[in-house]
Structure 1
Amino acid sequence: MGFLDWLRGGNNRPAEDHAISAGYSFFFGGTTSGRPVTERSAMQMTAVYSCVRILAEAIAGLPLHVYRQGTDGSNVKALDHPLYRLLHDEPNPEMTSFVFRETLMTHLLLWGNAFAQVLRNGLDEVIGLYPLMPNRMTVGRDEQGRLYYEYQRTWDEPAGRFETVRLSPHEVLHIPGLGFDGLVGYSPIAMAKNAIGLAQATEEYGASFFANGAAPGGVLEHPGTIKDPARVRESWQATFGGARNGNKIAVLEEGMKYTPISVSPEQAQFLETRKFQINEIARIFRIPPHMIGDLEKSSFSNIEQQSLEFVKYTLDPWVIRFEQAITKTLLNPREKPTLFVKFNLEGLLRGDYVSRMNGYAVARQNGWMSANDIRELENLDRIDPEAGGDLYLVNGNMLPLNLAGAYANTQPTDDGEPQTDETEPTSEPDGQQLTDSESMSDERFLRRTRL
């Protein structure tokens, strides 16, 4: 069997089938640092683990609803649709919606693909969703050009059988990541194997450095000839090697001396290399460094903006992938014109308390949000509509343009037509206008100042 046959999943399929294994990324194990990198070994890096956990928990924690579009253009939650409960509460009896979406997102970030088996009843309604391991899935086309999915079951699964199962696209919810053919996504871990391998190598070096007592290696020099150098080396290592023996005082006999020969960690820029690799891994997943504990270039003035950019430029593309894949696979053609699936990102886009309150005040005063609209966003109880909770108010100083200016000073006549008040202001006998209330009687002052 040739390399291409192995990459396509073996030679046990018809020659006319063309398949690509979704678990191909295990081939990219070797790195220039000498450290083998796989999806599971990469998760042992704290930076990789943090990035994957942040994204997976963010997608899993977002509210996910099925909406129905009304004839008047309004969107209401389709609580009566069978898919609503599966996506919002329990996709299967063994998992909650949070765990299900967290698992799929973890698969996407490590393998570049997420798969779930779709179970349907006789009415073609979705009744269950079960995640499938991407490294056991193969995507291909048959001799008619139709897509198919082959899944390798193993003994550790609930069915307890080792067999290959072929599924149709109608039976698989497939969410692909970034790829070249639009069918299978590429693993971010495989694409960034050298960066992750370097981070693993520096971590291993640091562990070895402290395991050897934080003392550099060196040479024991003796003026004469040592009969058993191995015994001397082992005795030295047993006495002074290891982190617990780092502060012991060495006593050298017979003119023997110790000469270090290794480069110090400062000269090798060990700490700088580790710090840079943390930013490198954060760059792979497009995570702001402050979210994985690197606050060197973060401040109170820019962390909020970075968090908003994380929602817009990092989470939003993943959310769109989920929404469109779910709509494409789980909704039938008759439902797609009126039903759609949507994540709610409003909670993550909210600013601090003062900014939210100022925004609500503008919306309330300009009439495009009611008190109940605002209270729903803040998870507060609704106000009784009879008490004005659903009223939309507008400031009284806002008028249409044709009512502004001189036209506003006109008074309507009996027939409803406006009439301009042409009364001239009263002047004093000497021709001078009164300037204050002290120069006129109380009656004249009230008449002049009344609106």
Structure 2
Amino acid sequence: MNLKFWKRRKEERSILEQDETGLKDLLLAAGLIEDDITRIEALNIPTLAGCVELISSLVASIPIKLYKEEDEEVTEIKEDIRLKLLNEETGDTLTSFEMKKALVIDYLLMGNGYIYINKERGKIESLHYVKESDVSINRNVDPIFKNYDVLVNGHIYKPYNFIKLLRHTDNGFDGYGIIEENIILLSVIYNSLKYENILSKTGGNKKGFIESEGKLGLEAMLNLKEQWRNMYSNNTENCIVLNKGLNFKESQATPTELQLNENKITNGSEICKIFNIPPSIISGDGKANEGDFDKMFKMAILPILNSLIASINRDLLLEKEKKSFYFGYDANELLKGDIEKRFKAYEIAIKNKIMGVNEVRYKEDLEPIDLFEDTILLGLNDVLYNTKNKTVYTPNTDKTSNLKGGENNENRDSQ
């Protein structure tokens, strides 16, 4: 009895599998479960391409700087080969801007971005962007003590040979991109674009069917089909002659056709949510305000910058340097488009003794003024403090005071 039971169960399971296979084949033929989308297809979606272009360009345009912290004092290092490779020339065919831009695009779409660090005798000579599709990971199986090798074009490299920018990674060597995490939404939007493309190719002609009072002969049917094909092919023949007894009945518009424009707006907003960008910035309707830009910078740009700097600090600094050196970025470059906002920020920085006049002029690519060399304004708009010799000079009275003690009444020329 048990044998009969299991035999019957096996037959039922076989029938069920056949039914599922037949249903899957039917849905595939109808294009209803085609949820795969490539990188090229994803970039055909206008809103997605706009978001990727905006984020990657902004991140790539921000200069990377090097600092040294010693005795609780931070000093900017300006002469270092790594700064030149990251901000100017990579030593490769790509410029630094193009390298960082390509890196961020791979990061956003595929979840992984790689830059090869070319060293000779331990010294960094050049940086080389490597396409994400050209990189393979050979990992171990230990979930705790994780380790891996990087394979490129048949060659095996160690992780420290690359600057790695990984998105939503849970293992340190492989990330998840926008396409993989949102494949259903992007497939729906891309298929909507393909549907719209079909409508444009057919000239917007409505679908329908021909009703005949009598049976058509083979020759008449072939002639009618040929005329129909010509009309939908967007050529010069755009008229069909229906003989007596033939009537064209237009099929009703589907909900997809009726809501095509509404869906495009909704889908665009959904994509903006994925990238944490306010839709007003991408729409180009002029409704974006300063608050929208600030939100985009904090939610879309800042996390990528922090991740990039963390990766650069890990892979470009020597172990002995990590105690006192670190890389950072200068986000002030993003404010250069708004001169009023920029100069108000400078005014606040000078008044609150955060920056000196010459520091501001340096950021604006202007020559320093000798009068303000190594000085910051203390107040009354006329008091100058020399940060090197700790003296205060008041031009109104032509007096110099030493903060360490005593007063020097000599004029400034005799200093």
Q: What TM-score results when the alignment is normalised by the length of structure 2?
A: 0.75
1: CA distance, partners of 2:298 / 2:344: 22
CA–CA distance in structure 1, aligned partners of residues 191 and 322 of structure 2: 50
Aligned equivalents of 2:340, 2:152: Cα separation in 1 = 54
What SS does the aligned partner of 1:65 have? strand
> How far apart are the structure 2 equivalents of 1:397 and 1:119?
53
SS in 2 for 1:368: coil
What is the 5 A alignment of 1:161-310? 164-228=154-218, 230-243=221-234, 248=238, 250-263=240-253, 268-293=258-283, 295=285, 299=287, 302-310=288-296
Matched, 1:59 2:59: yes
Amino acid at match of 2:41: S
Note the C-alpha offset of 1:244.
5.3
Q: Please state if 1:374 is matched with 2:360.
A: yes
Which segment drifts farther, 321-330 or 125-134? 125-134
**Aligned residues of 2:66 and 2:77 also touching (Cα < 8 A):** yes
Distance verdict in 2 for CA 1:117–1:352, change over 3 Å? closer
Do the aligned partners of 2:228 and 2:240 also contact (CA within 8 Å) in 1?
A: no
Matched AA of 1:369: M
SS in 1 for 2:258: coil
Q: Deviations over 1:17-46 (max 9, x none)?
A: xxxxxxxxxxxxxx9652530223212222
Aligned pairs for 1:121-140 within 5 A:
121-122=120-121, 124-135=122-133, 136-140=135-139
Query: 1:311, CA displacement in angstroms?
Result: 1.1
Alpha-carbon separation, structure 1, partners of 2:131 and 2:264:
32
The Cα of 1:316 is off from its aligned counterpart by 0.7
Instruction: Return the alpha-carbon distance in structure 2 between the equivalents of residues 104 and 352 of structure 1.
Output: 27
Which residue of the partner structure matches residue 87 of structure 1?
Answer: 86
Kindly state the Cα deviation for residue 49 of structure 1 after the two structures are TM-superposed: 1.8
- Alignment RMSD (CA, Å): 2.9
Partner of 1:110: 109
* Cα deviation, residue 208, structure 1: 0.8
Q: Which residue of 2 aligns with 1:418?
A: none
Structure 1 residue 113, shift from structure 2 partner? 0.9
Offset, 1:331: 0.7
Distance 2:239 2:137 in 1: 61
Judged with a 3 Å threshold, the aligned counterparts in structure 2 of structure 1 residues 118 and 141 are, in CA distance, closer, same or farther, namely farther
Aligned ranges 1:347-386 → 2 under 5 Å:
347-349=333-335, 352-377=338-363, 379-386=364-371
Amino acid at match of 1:276: T
Q: CA deviation at 1:58?
A: 1.4
Query: Which structure's residues are more often strand, by fraction?
Result: 2
Residue 265 of structure 1, CA deviation: 6.6
- Using the size of structure 1 for normalisation, the TM-score is 0.70
2:148 equivalent in structure 1: 148
Q: Amino acid of the residue matched to residue 170 of structure 1? A: Y
Counterpart contact for 2:150–2:159, Cα < 8 Å: no
Q: Per the alignment, in what secondary structure is the counterpart of residue 292 of structure 1?
A: helix
Return closer, same or farther for 1:68/1:276 CA change in 2, 3 Å cut-off: same
Distance of 2:295 and 2:313 partners within structure 1: 26
Find the aligned partners of 2:112 and 2:244 in 1 and give their Cα distance: 66
Indicate conservation of the 8 Å contact 2:92/2:127, yes or no: no
1: CA distance, partners of 2:232 / 2:381? 82
1:299-343 CA-partner distances (Å, limit 9, x unpaired): 2xx521111111111111101111111111111111112221112
DSSP 3-state at the match of 1:95? coil
Alignment-derived partner of residue 323 in structure 2? 337
Counterpart residue type for residue 240 of structure 1 = M
- 1:171 Cα deviation after fit: 1.6
Output one character per residue of 1:264-291: Cα deviation in whole Å (capped at 9) or x when no partner: 5786311111221112222222222233
Question: Which structure has the greater CA radius of gyration?
Answer: 1
The residue type paired with residue 200 of structure 1 is Y
Residues 104-152 of structure 1: CA distance to partner in whole angstroms, max 9, x if unpaired?
Answer: 1111112101122222222x22222222232332141388956232314
Map of 2:19 onto structure 1: none
Letter in 2 for 1:394: G
Structure 2 counterpart of 1:253, one-letter code:
N
Q: Is the 8 A contact 2:35 2:183 kept in 1?
A: no
Q: What are the Cα deviations for residues 47-69 of structure 1, in whole angstroms up to 9, with x where unaligned?
A: 22222221221121111222233
> Which whole-Å CA distance do the structure 1 matches of 2:318 and 2:271 have between them?
40
Which aligned runs of 4 or more in structure 1 are off by greater than 6 angstroms?
A: none
Fraction of identical pairs, as percent: 18
Mean alpha-carbon deviation: is it higher for 252-261 or for 346-355? 346-355
The alpha-carbon distance between structure 1 residues 216 and 351, as it changes in their structure 2 partners (threshold 3 A), is same
Letter in 2 for 1:203: L
Aligned residues: 350
3-state secondary structure, aligned to 1:276: helix
1:203 to partner: Cα distance: 0.6
User: Unaligned stretches of 5+ in structure 2?
Assistant: 1-30, 384-415
The structure that is helix-richer by fraction is 2
